[in-house]
Amino acid sequence: MPKTSPLTAERRFAAITRLLFTLPLFAVLSLSGVAHSQDPAPQPALKVSLTGESAEAAKDRAEAMRRDRAAAWHGDAEAQARLGVLYFAGWGGVQQDDAEAFKWFDLAARQNHARAQAYLGILYAQGRGVERNPVVAQVWFNLAVTQGDRLGQLVGPKNAAELSVGEIAQAALRAREWREAYNASQADAVRPASGE
């Protein structure tokens, strides 16, 4: 029986991460209309480029990207998270760019977008687009998990395995403080100013 070398924890983490972003990314592309046409009518034969993408599909993808960019710049957390996923993976005609993925995930995560929080945790855990910091990664995983995010639930424990008990406690405390500050800011946003 041949001996196989065990995967290092970092390689297992990277493999799981690659696997986990594929399904959410397909869902993002499907929902935005990039993966298929919303029109059930038969489509005429389309010219296909050297990349295998039809001119019509490229036009649709470009339009979806334009809409997402506009919405993201106007603070739409869902659009910011979609852009983050595209830059994270280098899909949808977008060049893979960890710094750009970090920017969009950070903006969405700070608006309490659970999936963006999980991806931000991955970026911190792997040092992609930001200095590697497993404690900060765990803060973001904890925040995502409290909202039921499946990616955070799957990847967070792998990151926590690298941390000491003290670091895990620190990450939990920082996540709780972030959540309290976020909730207070939301309460202030809906509370009428005095005298109204």
d(CA 127, CA 69): 25
Q: Between the CA of residue 49 and those of 41, 96, 172, 192, what are the distances in Å? A: 23, 21, 50, 56
The answer to whether 117 and 140 have CB atoms below 8 angstroms apart is: yes
The answer to whether 116 and 95 have CB atoms below 8 angstroms apart is: no
Give the mean model confidence (pLDDT) for residues 134-159. 97
Question: Which residues lie closer than 8 Å to 192 by C-beta, 6 or more apart?
Answer: none
Does residue 28 have a pLDDT over 50? no
pLDDT band of residue 129 (cuts 50, 70, 90) is very high
The CATH number assigned to the domain with range 9-34+53-188 reads 1.25.40.10
Q: Is 194 helix (H, G, I), strand (E, B) or coil?
A: coil
DSSP 25-75: HHHHHHHTTSSS-S--SPPPP--B-TTS-BHHHHHHHHHHHHHHHHHHHTT
76, amino acid identity: D
Torsion of CA 76, 150, 131, 129, to 10 degrees: -50
What rounded mean pLDDT belongs to the chain?
A: 80
d(CA 76, CA 73): 7
Query: pTM for the whole thing?
Result: 0.70
| Per-residue model confidence as pLDDT tens digits over 86-104 | 999 998 788 999 999 999 9
Question: Which residues lie closer than 8 Å to 81 by C-beta, 6 or more apart?
Answer: 104, 105, 108, 113, 115, 116, 119
Give the mean model confidence (pLDDT) for residues 136-161. 97
pLDDT band of residue 15 (cuts 50, 70, 90) is low
Does residue 4 have a pLDDT over 80? no
